[in-house]
Amino acid sequence: MATASAVEIARAVRAGRVRAVEVVAGALERIERADPVLCAFLEVWHEEALRQAAAVD
């Protein structure tokens, strides 16, 4: 899903082809890998993001 658009991801979650928790976990992993170089995030709320994704699932 890393190359999918937000619309494609939302459709896949709604259709049950992918879980929201999986999408969020993947995004958090990419942030962890890239942010030490990019310094694009002041804060990343891992637990809150995963909690909200679980509520969607």
Instruction: Give residue-wise pLDDT tens across range 11-53.
Output: 999 999 999 999 999 999 999 999 999 999 999 999 999 999 9
How many structural domains compose the chain? 1
Closest CA to 50 of 38, 40, 29: 29
Roughly how many angstroms between the first and final C-alpha of the chain, as a whole number? 16
Q: According to the model, what pLDDT value does residue 51 have?
A: 99
Query: Any idea what DSSP says for residue 2?
Result: T
Flag whether 27 is in a domain. Answer: yes
Flag whether 1 is in a domain. Answer: no
Domain containing 20 equals 6-56
Between CA 10 and CA 40 the distance in angstroms is 24
Flag whether 16 is in a domain. Answer: yes
Between CA 10 and CA 20 the distance in angstroms is 9
Q: How many Cα atoms within 13 Å fall on the side-chain side of residue 49? A: 14
